[in-house]
Amino acid sequence: MNTLPQDDRFITFTLNSEIYAIEVLKIQEVIYIPEITRVPGAPSFVVGVINLRGILLTIVDTSVEFGLMRDADTEYSRIVVVSLGSDERIGLLVDDVSEVVSLKMEDREPLPMLGGGRLSQYAYHIIHYDGIPVTLLDLERIVETVNWNSAA
Amino acid sequence: MAFDPNSEIFHDFLQEAGELLEGLNEQLVDLESNPDDSEALNAVFRAFHTIKGGAGFLELSAIVELCHRSEDLFGKIREGQLQLTQEVMDPVLAAVDELNTMFEALQEGVEPASAPAEVLQQLEAMLHGGGAEAAPVEVVAEPEPVVTETVSHSAEDGDDDITDDEFEALLDQLDDSSEGDDLSSSAGFVTDVLLGGDPNDDITDDEFDLLLDALDGEDSPGDVPQAVASATPSPVEDQVEQVVSQQAPSVDTAVTATKKAAVKQESPVVPSKKGGHASKVESSVRVDTRRLDDVMNMVGELVLIRNRFDNLKQSISSEIVDRTISDLNLLTTDIQEVVMRLRMQPVRKVFSRFPRVVRDLAKKLGRKVKLQLVGEETEVDKNLVEELADPLIHLIRNAVDHGIETPDVRLAHGKPAEGTVVLSAEQEGDHILLTIKDDGAGMNPETLRHLAVKRGMMDHETAMQLSNRALFSLIFEPGFSTKKEISDVSGRGVGMDVVKTHISQLNGQVEIDSEVGGGTTISIQVPLTLAIMPTLMVLVGNQNYAIPLPGIMELFERSLVEVGKVGGREVVRLRDRTYPLIYASQLLDEPRIQSADQRVLVIELTGHSLALVVDQVIGQEEVVIKPLGSLLRGMPGYSGATITGDGSVAMILDIAGMISKKMGNEFLAYGDLGEAKGEGMAA
């Protein structure tokens, strides 16, 4: 969050026609969308669960959290497997994975104040790349949005 | 020092309470912005309660004190006697910060000192409404030497539970040795307390050390452990007794001394002497449990592949393939069994802490209670042993606190003055059966019926229809407590619902039976292992779900079941019992369909009996429970997920949890109509 990323390389992808970026080091892999098992009763941004080589991976669609509706899956849609530190991973549904870019951290700006959605919980900065605003996503806090164990 | 940082219990406590504490900060902040969230409120209340319980067991009085007050405060808020304003929240958050500091100390192996007086005072002030009336300064927390007088003052304020308790503990010790031990009649009990390799014993010993040091004014860390281990009065104890009687004309002197020592003494604990167990060559090896977990996981994978082969068998029809697959089947089952055995531990590991619990509690409450342990050798999965500890402690405390009557009451009813609590474990097929049976007062179904109406859980009509069994199960519902006064042992109506939630998450079931004057029996059924579970795979909508097999009693074709209506709800009558008809599609947000493949499952769970309609039954499958990511872990309604034979993911349903979540008390009020009013029902 406050610490500068170690590596300045980012993977960019499209979500609702906007460009987002996540540090390369946090991306484990990018996969095609397999059959997703829905989990009725889960938070609305949880699309479901998949079997990633014997491990259960929770798939999230962050557009819901950002107050947007995601477009239907296309042939370019992918799941970006993001590592959230200690053994924890989630799959992020994206519309299109674009490229790996080097972003100059000195150029980043704080996230402009935006109404609606909860983007500000998952992103702290934007950066302009080729004149286009790119939102730097930090999904670590997504896990904090739910707390099932409070009852136990 | 009154605790042993090397003991297993201590580590368990650190871990469990640590997690709760972590959650507390966030929950509190959430609660502040959303003060009407009763769920969050309950969660906070329980968190303090649980931490307090654990700390009380380890005699970490500073933590108990802090949690006790916070819990009281939230108890008041829960009952609507106090508004959750920022004014209230500030001291609570301060208390949580203080708890965090105490935990940091604990992790270093240092017993935490009492919380700063202001923190306690502020909590107290909130508790008594209005911050104006300043409580007297909590002298105990002052680092300077304490004058006896001041302590006796604060002792009159009524907020000195801890000092009293501590003193009581001391008196107990003396009683035991000098009066020839009134508990010695129950031989098993005494041996367990005194001779068991239980780390608890160290706690008392250390306490002795502390006391001795304090009274003698010398710093000899003497090796007392053996002294207590003998049932006869030992010189050390005599000495204590002497010193106490000489030096303590008033209780306060001794207490002050102890306290002073507690404040001063900051050096780490004297490592307790461990018996020489490495003397002979053993035929066993110690293995890191993580390695066992790894092996277990891999066996899980193997089972999945086996399942996949089973699926494939249908498409490849060749005798040799069939035979090879069935060989693989046998072998896999064997490996699974062996690995499961590796992880088994006798339940004694949990049971061993109970005699102490019962003893202390009985003394505190002025009861005479004998605890009988049966089947301590029964083995269950290591993880399960740990998971069972909390629910069992709770149930046992409950049996002593609510079940067993005081000696004079018992005598008046023609019972022996000493009550008996029997805790037994036995293996029954693929599950383990634990029972806690007391010969106490029992529960009166009519009282429960009355209370259920009074608490607004259901209307009079519904209450009248409930069977005794359904009435007893009510005590597992949140906020339902049959005891009026609040003790710090149990009886706040928190706990029994926690027990039920806990057991249900282990895919277990709780049942309760009671007889007025005859006592209460609570039985818990849990699977032997948490890793592999027999399930029934069903189709709902277009997805497969696994339903744990224990609990499913019968299976009917949908078309053969006649549906009646009661109060606008569908019911079915099967084998002379009437069940509410619940559609799995409704629980799982799927459209309701009609199809010839539909089946009705009769499910019996704690407090719930129901007929569940599923769209299709696929078959029985042993599933390997896979951990869910933290976004979904612990989500109510599911006990986990698994990977099926075809490689897809199936969620494992926790029917009881799903129903409580979806329907809550509405269902409860409606459940189990069968026994009471079955006869007149349309079927």
pLDDT digits (tens, 9 = 90+) for B90-124: 788 788 888 888 888 888 778 888 878 888 888 88
pLDDT at B163: 54
Task: For the sheet with A132-137, list strands across it.
Answer: A96-102, A9-15, A18-23, A132-137, A123-129, A109-110
Show the domain range for A108: 9-142
The residue that leads in pLDDT, A126 or B660, is A126
Q: Which residue has the tokens 């699974």?
A: B336
- The CA distance from B471 to B507, in Å, is 22
Closest CB from A41, A48, A147 relative to B23: A147
The answer to whether residue A50 is domain-embedded is: yes
Q: Do B629 and A58 touch (CB under 8 A)?
A: yes
Question: Which residues, 6+ apart, have CB-to-CB distance to B505 below 8 Å?
Answer: A152, B634, B639, B654, B657
When pLDDT is averaged across residues A41-59 and rounded to a whole number, the result is: 89
The one-letter amino acid code at B485 reads E
SS3 B375: coil
Query: DSSP readout, B33-45?
Result: H-TT-HHHHHHHH
Q: Selecting from 2.30.30.40, 3.40.50.300, 2.20.25.10, 3.40.50.720, what CATH number does the domain B532-680 have?
A: 2.30.30.40
The predicted pLDDT at position B671 comes to 43
Q: Domain boundaries in chain B? A: 8-135, 163-264, 289-342, 346-527, 532-680
Candidates A41, A50, A58; nearest CB to B631: A58
With cut-offs at 50, 70 and 90, classify the pLDDT of residue B22. confident
What CATH number does residue A103 fall under? 2.40.50.180
CB A24 within 8 A of CB A9: yes
Three-state SS at B164: helix
Q: How far apart are the first and last CA of chain A?
A: 31
Q: Which residue has the higher pLDDT, B212 or B672?
A: B212
Domain B289-342 carries which CATH code?
Answer: 1.10.287
Residue A151 in domain: no
Q: Is residue A4 part of a domain?
A: no
CB atoms B632 and A148 under 8 Å: yes
- pLDDT at B660 (0 to 100): 77
Residue A148 lies in a domain: no
Tell me which chain B residue has its CA closest to the CA of residue A151. Answer: B43
A64 sits in which H/E element: helix A62-65
Q: Which of residues 9 through 28 in chain A touch B, CB cutoff 8 A?
A: none
Q: Per the domain annotation, does A124 fall within a domain?
A: yes
- Structural domain contains residue A1: no
| CATH number belonging to the domain at B8-135, selected among 3.30.70.270, 1.20.120.160, 1.10.600.10, 3.40.50.2300 | 1.20.120.160
Say yes or no: A56 contacts chain B, CB-CB below 8 A. yes
* A40/B587 Cβ within 8 A: yes
Using an 8 Å CB-CB cutoff, list chain B residues near A41: 588-589, 635-637, 658, 661
Q: Once rounded to an integer, what is the mean pLDDT over residues A30-54?
A: 90
Q: How confident is the model at residue A4 (pLDDT cuts 50, 70, 90)?
A: low
Q: What is the pLDDT of residue A79?
A: 93
Q: Nearest by CB to A37, which of B27, B39, B649?
A: B649
Are A89 and B629 an interchain contact pair (Cβ–Cβ within 8 Å)? yes
Domain total of chain A: 1
Q: Which residues of A touch B304 (CB under 8 A)?
A: 54
Q: What is the pairing mode between strands A9-15 and A18-23? A: antiparallel
Mean pLDDT, to the nearest integer, of B133-147?
41
- Kindly provide the ipTM of the predicted complex, given to two decimals: 0.86
Per-residue pLDDT of B546-581, as tens digits, reads 998 888 888 988 888 888 888 778 888 888 888 888
Contact flag B498-A51 (C-beta cutoff 8 Å) = no
What's the mean pLDDT in B455-466? 79
Write the pLDDT tens digit of every residue in B471-522: 888 888 776 665 544 444 444 444 677 788 788 777 788 888 888 888 899 9
A54–B301 C-beta distance less than 8 A: yes
Res B396 pLDDT > 70: yes
Say which residue the tokens 């890191």 belong to.
B288
∠ CA B387-B390-B396, rounded to 5°:
130
Which residue on chain B is closest to A42 by alpha carbon?
B632
**Domain B346-527 CATH (choose: 3.30.565.10, 3.30.930.10, 1.10.760.10, 3.40.1190.10):** 3.30.565.10
* B648/A152 Cβ within 8 A: no
How far, CA to CA in Å, does B209 sit from each of B9, B240, B248, B354?
21, 10, 18, 24
